Amino acid sequence: MKLHEYQAKEILGKFGIPVPKGQLITAPNQAEDATQAVHGPPWVVKAQVHAGGRGKAGGVKVIQTPQAVMTAAASLLGNPLKTKQAGPEGVIVRKLLIEEGIDIEHEFYLSMVVDRSTAGPTMIFSPAGGMEIEEVAARSPELIRKQHVNSGAGWMPYQARNLIYDLDPPFRPETANALVAVMGALYKVFLTHDCSLVEINPLVTTTEGKVVALDAKMSIDDNALYRQKQLLELDDPLEKDPLERMAEAYNLNYIRLDGNIGAMVNGAGLAMATMDVIKLAGAEPANFLDVGGGASEEMITRGFEIILKDTRVKAILINIFGGILRCDVLARGVLAAANKIRIQVPLIVRLEGTNVEEGRAILKNSDLKFLVAKDLAEAAELVAKQVS
Ligand code: GDP
Ligand code: MN
């Protein structure tokens, strides 16, 4: 679960990390009030959407007059923001954060993530903060510094000093101390809220030598939400893809992707392999969907419905190796969905495993039109041919 910037900043502030003062608005007529409540000029108007890269897309504006803040609010609210991460359709901006402008001296990058290779949290710091951290990582990996946290000992202040001590130009002592404190607080935020990521980009030094978190991203491990009930209230379902939201309601593991081959598979491993084989055949998957081993006919129906609702899907591949999931249950689920929504794209089916004969018979005796593949490679080639 992701938090909005304004929600994450409130948490950071509570843990002692300096953040700019700001006010959230949801309608343009609240903008003037906000400019009175928040110190300026300049004010910074920030679109509150979960997708990153807002700055480059015009979703972060540094503004000099209350009038211009009102104009910016009117043009942003209710309209889509097309950031690099949001994709071509963009995301509708429903909330804006109006903040006091900060005099930036330098922009740093700071985050804590779960590092799978060390099976623990890792602090990442870079003197090259700002908007393009992915490019820094690709082009100048030496500018990205890491410190792994020993789970027994926890975060140690010397690790913070390791991250910053040899920078050129060196920090003023009070700035260095402030950075060490921010890192310690960041670790506490991360641990207390069962985060998978807390990212401050940029973390800035001001011309007065202060350290301020100018941006904040926070993701909570979904598996920990049962014990993070107060965070659950911060969930904003409107930020999620509508099809992903529907899948979540039916307990389906579904992730929307950019391609046009819809895929319905059982088992996460097989679903990953299926996506690989689709790509190998020269096509692009439209989604990841693992209907799971114990899927009911209802869940299959819902899963297939979700794929059919995705207007970008130009062909569908059903790849089932029935183990716990029986092929006859799958076939009935697919038919139920096909009865509700007309299938207008080619359908390729590869079925194996438990009750495969019954499953095949059910599909064959229906008026569903589909192609049968004898194995996965053939299935992928068939499906790729439909869109080439
Ligand atoms: P993102 O593009 O979605 O990551 O949005 P950010 O909140 O990181 O803002 C992008 C950029 O806007 C920052 O890297 C800063 O350069 C600039 N910015 C944000 N807030 C301020 C501010 O208070 N003062 C100034 N001068 N620039 C700001
Ligand atoms: Mn940022």
pLDDT digits (tens, 9 = 90+) for 363-379: 999 988 889 888 888 99
Give just the sign of the alpha carbon dihedral 371, 377, 381, 383.
Answer: positive
Asked if 51 and 128 sit in the same domain, the reply is no
- The whole-angstrom separation of Cα 9 and Cα 192 is 15
Residues around ion ligand 2, judged by CB within 5 A, are 201, 215
The residue assigned the tokens 């948490």 is: 11
CATH code for the domain in which residue 40 is found = 3.30.1490.20
Both 135 and 96 in a single domain? no
Closest Cα to residue 78, out of 90, 86, 68? 90
Looking at the fold, whether 271 and 174 belong to one and the same domain comes out as no
Domain end: 238, 260, 285, which one? Answer: 238
Using CA atoms of 292, 293, 299, 301 in order, give the dihedral in degrees to the nearest 10: 100
- Angle separating helix axes 268-280 and 376-387, nearest 10 degrees: 50
206-210, Cβ contacts within 8 angstroms, sequence gap of 24 or more: 206/102, 206/103, 206/104, 206/105, 207/103, 207/104, 207/105, 208/103, 209/105, 209/172, 209/174, 209/175, 210/18, 210/175, 210/178
Q: Could you say which ligand is closest to the alpha carbon of residue 107?
A: 1
Please count the structural domains in the chain: 3
Report the separation in Å between the CA atom of 216 and the middle of ligand 2, taken as the mean of its atom positions: 7
Nearest CA to ligand 1 atom 8: 215
Alpha helices in the chain (DSSP H): 5-14, 31-37, 66-76, 133-139, 157-164, 173-192, 229-232, 242-249, 268-280, 297-309, 327-340, 356-364, 376-387
Q: Answer whether 270's CB lies under 8 Å from 350's CB.
A: no
CATH number reported for the structural domain that contains residue 267 in this entry? 3.40.50.261
Statement to judge: residues 203 and 121 lie in one domain = yes
131 — pLDDT class (breaks 50, 70, 90)? low
* Last residue within a domain, chosen from 49, 76, 101: 101
Same domain, 209 and 251: no
Q: What is the CATH number of the domain that holds 113?
A: 3.30.470.20
Dihedral angle over CA of 260, 261, 264, 270, nearest 10: -120
Residues 355 and 336 in one domain: yes
**Atom nearest to 130 CA in ligand 1:** 14
Q: If you average pLDDT over residues 205-210, what whole number do you get?
A: 91
State the ligand closest to the CA atom of 214. 1
What is the band of 186 on the pLDDT scale with cuts at 50, 70, 90?
very high
- Quote the tokens at residue 265: 């598979």
Report the amino acid identity of residue 113: V
Which residues sit with their C-beta closer than 6 Å to ligand 1? 44, 46, 52-55, 60, 62, 101-102, 104, 107, 130-131, 201-202, 214-215
Cα–Cα dist 304/320, whole Å: 13
The C-alpha atoms of residue 31 and residue 45 are separated, in whole angstroms, by 10
Buried b (16+ CB within 10 A) or exposed e, 112-142: bbeeeeeeebbbbbbbbbbbbbeebeeeeee
Shared domain for 132 and 14, answered yes or no, is yes
The model's pLDDT over 328-374, given as tens digits with 9 standing for 90+, comes to 999 999 999 888 888 889 999 999 999 999 999 999 999 888 898 88
User: What is the token pair recorded at 25?
Assistant: 């608005």
Statement: residue 224 has pLDDT above 90: yes
Query: Rounded to whole angstroms, how far apart are CA atoms 234 and 225?
Result: 11
What's the CA angle centered on 239, arms 344 and 202, to 5 degrees? 130
> Which one of 194, 211, 238 terminates a domain?
238
> What are the C-alpha distances in Å from 207 to residues 26, 281, 337?
32, 55, 61
Cα angle value 124/210/187 (rounded, 5°): 35
Q: Are residues 226 and 307 in the same domain?
A: no
Tell me the residue range of the domain where 225 lies: 1-19+103-238
- Among 189, 233, 179, 246, CA closest to 210: 179
109 classed as catalytic:
yes
Active site residue 199: yes
Same domain, 5 and 58: no
Residues 146 and 210 in one domain: yes
Q: Which atom of ligand 1 is nearest to the CA of 129?
A: 14
Which token pair is 13?
């502030």
List the catalytic residue out of 5, 99, 107, 199. Answer: 199
- Say yes or no: 79 and 170 in one domain: no
Ranges 26-35, 124-133, 159-168, 285-294, most confident? 26-35
pTM of the predicted structure, to 2 decimals = 0.83
Mean pLDDT of all residues in the chain? 93
Return d(Cα 275, Cα 289) in angstroms, integer.
Answer: 10
| For the CA of 201, the nearest atom of ligand 1 | 8
Q: What is the share, in percent, of the chain residues with pLDDT greater than 70?
A: 99
60 and 37 in one domain?
yes
**What confidence score (pLDDT) does residue 121 get?**
97
Residue 59 · residue 45 · CB < 8 Å:
no
